[in-house]
Amino acid sequence: MSEPRPSDRHDDSDPDETFAEIVDEATQRDPDLAVIEAGSRTLRTRSGPPQAPDAPARPADPEVDKALRAVEQELAGRWGETKLEPSVARITALMDLLGEPQRAYPSIHITGTNGKTSTARMVEALLGAFDLRTGRYTSPHVQSITERISLDGSPMDPERFIETYQDIKPYVEMVDAQQPYRLSFFEVLTGMAYAAFADAPVDVAVVEVGMGGSWDATNVIDASVAVITPISLDHTDRLGSTPAEIAGEKGGIIKQGATVILAQQPVDAAQVILKKAVAVDATVAREGMEFGVVSREVAVGGQLLTLRGLGGEYEEIFLPLYGAHQAHNAAVALCAVEAFFGIGAERPGALDADTVRQAFASVISPGRLEVVRSSPTVVLDAAHNPGGARATADGISEAFAFSRLIGVVGASDDKDVKGLLEAFEPIFAEVVITQNSSARAMDADALAAVAVEVFGDERVQVEPRLDDAIEAAITLAEEEDEYAGAGVLVTGSVITVGEARLLLGRH
């Protein structure tokens, strides 16, 4: 391990004493604050062009684009991701017909309320750095449906996506005919992902839960590592009205004898998960106890970390993402990969530190605190619930020295929009309310009525068209002197961010 630069040293204290102080702080603080601070939202920042086509544009070939649109149209004709019949019967039937492809490779399963995609990307980067072929399944997508299924760190190319759909389509239709309800949009995509991973073949699959855990379509895998990111209130109509109730659903991904990597949680949620782990003889590694963030400091383009994993400390890790929560996400991802390799249980030692550094330095994510324009600076972030919005607000305050920040907010109708707006109120000088093109989008006027309650009438502007809203926000930001440092944050929904990304020419 290389010697830390003199400028990176904070003091000469014993690392074990430092970690003990972190453990004490984590166990004494308010559990709700722990959710916010520990990783309640994926925030991604980078400068320069993307390192990989993680948010691909439409296919350049007109025929391929036409074929992909046909697949998208067929999938759109099924139940959407917000209409559910809580059961794994349909996806199980599909897996049986396909020869159970999900059992052809080991897997790491990730659930939680916020930070799942962020953590999945970090896990994928680490596994790839250790020369493993990876498959990653995440949702929702920012710009292209092909983003949801990745091979070797890049979204599946459109041709392969179309081919995979056509391959499983006959089996999908057979299940449709046999079951009381047709397979949903998410269930078909899950079947495609598992089939594509087996066909590749991959060495390991990194799978993000769509919603909940117990009855989520992804839960037909038998993952040796179950990751649970911070739990807070979201989808309360389906998962429960308290963190404990939600934890009961999310704990359903824990399989017999698995290793559970548990991010910091509200106390009641942690208790539920620990009881589940005991019931299935699973081993639990807890953030703030068995692993955690030893130190972090803001650096140019990200932050410099020292992480405590199951195998010891990893120093001088540069993470090109901002926010304390991202440091905690990194600790969770590191511990998950250590557990996958058996470190801390089956064998002593640590992962190669240089490889770990290389992996974390490569992590990117579109639409998560992503700068897409300068003069004035326009930032995109897909925060869509109060916990995520609070972490976004904290992250942008730490990472950007905006003298005045204008918000552009377009949210979904089924979210806690008041809580979302209240989280942003302290950092937004003014807010432009809008809506995206999704059928789930909250009407701009209805959202504006809530915004007026939070911000007051004089700080709220309504522009139903997203392009007009972005232009209005940029104009408001430009009202300050050119060098005053005003900025724009577009947020409220993954769909809003994806459409803004296209409008601003980011591919």
Q: What is the pLDDT of residues 257-287, one digit of tens each?
A: 999 999 999 899 999 999 999 999 999 999 9
What is the percentage of the chain residues whose pLDDT exceeds 70? Answer: 85
pLDDT confidence of residue 356: 98
Q: Does the pLDDT at position 480 exceed 80?
A: no
Q: Six-digit token pair at 250? A: 């999310």
372 close to 501: Cβ distance less than 8 angstroms: yes
pLDDT digit string (tens) for 296-311? 998 888 899 999 999 9
Mean residue pLDDT of the chain comes to: 86
Considering only 9-23, 178-192, 295-309, which range has the smallest mean pLDDT? 9-23
- Distance (Å, rounded) from C-alpha 489 to C-alpha 377? 9
Task: Indicate the Cα dihedral angle 220, 223, 226, 229, nearest 10°.
Answer: -60
Q: How confident is the model at residue 17 (pLDDT cuts 50, 70, 90)?
A: low
pTM score of the predicted model: 0.83
Angle, in degrees to the nearest 10, between helices 494-503 and 466-478: 70
Q: How confident is the model at residue 349 (pLDDT cuts 50, 70, 90)?
A: confident
Q: Does the pLDDT at position 42 exceed 50?
A: no
pLDDT digit string (tens) for 381-401? 989 889 889 989 998 998 888
Considering only 169-178, 362-371, 381-390, 449-458, which range has the smallest mean pLDDT? 362-371
pLDDT confidence of residue 233: 66
Element (H, E) at 64: helix 62-76
Intra-chain end-to-end CA distance of the chain, in Å: 37
**Nearest Cα to 132, choosing from 44, 240, 204, 225?**
204
Q: Does the pLDDT at position 50 exceed 50?
A: no
Vertex 206 angle, CA 205 and 211, to 5°: 125
Q: How confident is the model at residue 58 (pLDDT cuts 50, 70, 90)?
A: confident
Query: Rounded to whole angstroms, what are the CA distances from 341 to 45, 108, 122, 171?
Result: 29, 11, 15, 35
Q: Does the pLDDT at position 185 exceed 70?
A: yes
3-class secondary-structure state, position 203? coil
pLDDT confidence of residue 105: 98
Helices marked H in 116-242: 116-129, 158-178, 185-199, 236-239
Query: What's the full length of the chain, in residues?
Result: 507
What is the percentage of the chain residues whose pLDDT exceeds 90? Answer: 66
Q: How many CB atoms within 10 Å of residue 263? A: 29
Q: Highest-confidence range of 211-215, 230-234, 316-320, by mean pLDDT?
A: 316-320
431 close to 477: Cβ distance less than 8 angstroms: no
**Nearest Cα to 417, choosing from 400, 429, 404, 435?**
435
Query: What is the chain's percent helix, strand, coil content, to nearest 5?
Result: 45, 15, 40
Spell out where 363-439 has E strands: 370-373, 377-380, 404-409, 430-433
Q: Does the pLDDT at position 95 exceed 50?
A: yes
Q: Does the pLDDT at position 52 exceed 60?
A: no
Helices marked H in 280-352: 324-340
pLDDT confidence of residue 140: 86
The residues, ordered by sequence, that sit 6+ positions from 67 with a Cβ below 8 Å of its Cβ are: 158, 162
How does 25-56 read in b/e, with b if 16+ C-beta sit within 10 Å? ebeeeebeebbbbbbbbbbbbbeeeeeeebbb
Q: Does the pLDDT at position 1 exceed 50?
A: no
Angle, in degrees to the nearest 10, between helices 31-39 and 324-340: 80
Considering only 54-63, 129-138, 235-244, which range has the smallest mean pLDDT? 235-244
Backbone angles phi, psi at 201, to 5 degrees: -85, 160
Q: Six-digit token pair at 283? A: 């081993």
Positive or negative torsion for Cα 12, 26, 421, 438? positive
- Distance (Å, rounded) from C-alpha 63 to C-alpha 400? 43
140 close to 208: Cβ distance less than 8 angstroms: no
Element (H, E) at 422: helix 417-424
The residues, ordered by sequence, that sit 6+ positions from 372 with a Cβ below 8 Å of its Cβ are: 378, 379, 380, 500, 501, 504, 505, 506
